[in-house]
Amino acid sequence: MKTHLTHLARKISVIVASVGLFFLLVYGLLCLTVSPVSADATITISGSPLSVTPQAITCTTVVLSGIAQTATCTTSAWTIKDPTGTGAGYRLQISATNFSDGAGHTIPVSGFKLTLADTAITTTAGNTKPASAMASATPLSTTAQNVLSAAVNTGMGTYNATPTFSIDVPPDTFSGSYVSTISATMVAGP
């Protein structure tokens, strides 16, 4: 009987050891599957320069009548872009030359006026749109003037601005075709 009990004790020891080993393996596998694994995703973002795309300006024809007259002028939307990724803000500045007919006759640039209503600035893609600095008719100059500006962390993206123009034609103007060259520049900073 003692041998039978010894034999039974050995079987129980083997079964307990096997069950213990089984639970140890299951616990080990559970510990392995519970531990999270992670990886990083990295992207590099680089900016591009500020830009403006001015459009041609067309003015109505003036028929001289011996008194001062005003011609209205139109243009298509100008595209303003801030893809810099800096949030530094910017200013659109414009200057213009005197109108000249190429034969020595001029119309002063001070009579060339620009209006840019805030409603004429629209967002194509971006955050808060820039604001007009010439919401009412403002005479242009040969010196650059702010037309619109974006404060820090605004104006990032692409916007359309559609200014309107007018030109005062003095009564002593010579007949002919007159041209003024407009320079538009984007300057960083509000």
Domains of the chain: total: 2
- Across 29-33, 113-117, 173-177, least confident range: 29-33
160 forms beta bridges with 79, 122
Token match 């640039």: residue? Answer: 109
Let me know whether 150 and 70 are in one domain. Answer: yes
Q: How high is the pLDDT of residue 102? A: 96
Q: pLDDT band at residue 164, thresholds of 50, 70 and 90?
A: very high
Is the model's pTM score more than 0.85?
Answer: no
Let me know whether 76 and 136 are in one domain. Answer: yes
- Domain of residue 117: give its range: 51-188
Let me know whether 23 and 60 are in one domain. Answer: no
Which region, left, alpha or beta, applies to residue 119 given φ > 0 means left and ψ of -120 to 50 means alpha?
alpha
- Whether 151 is in a domain gets the answer yes
CB burial readout 2-29, b (16+ within 10 A) else e = eeeeeeeeeeeeeeeeeeeeeeeeeeee
- Do the Cβ atoms of 113 and 180 come closer than 8 Å? no
Let me know whether 69 and 109 are in one domain. Answer: yes
Question: What is the number of alpha carbons within 13 Å of residue 18 lying toward its C-beta?
Answer: 6
Tell me which DSSP letter residue 171 carries: T
Let me know whether 67 and 27 are in one domain. Answer: no
Over the chain, what is the mean pLDDT?
89
Let me know whether 91 and 167 are in one domain. Answer: yes
Per-residue pLDDT of 116-128, as tens digits, reads 999 999 999 999 9
What is the CATH number for 145?
2.60.40
- Whether 70 is in a domain gets the answer yes
Let me know whether 32 and 73 are in one domain. Answer: no
CA distance 149 to 130: 5
Let me know whether 91 and 170 are in one domain. Answer: yes
Let me know whether 82 and 17 are in one domain. Answer: no
Let me know whether 84 and 23 are in one domain. Answer: no
Q: How high is the pLDDT of residue 67? A: 97
Q: Which residues contact 52 (CB under 8 A, 6 or more apart)?
A: 78, 79, 80, 81, 92, 184, 185, 186
Per-residue pLDDT of 38-69, as tens digits, reads 999 999 999 999 999 999 999 999 999 999 99
Let me know whether 123 and 183 are in one domain. Answer: yes
> What is the signed CA dihedral for 189, 135, 112, 177, rounded to 10 degrees?
100
Alpha-helical runs (H) found in the chain: 2-34
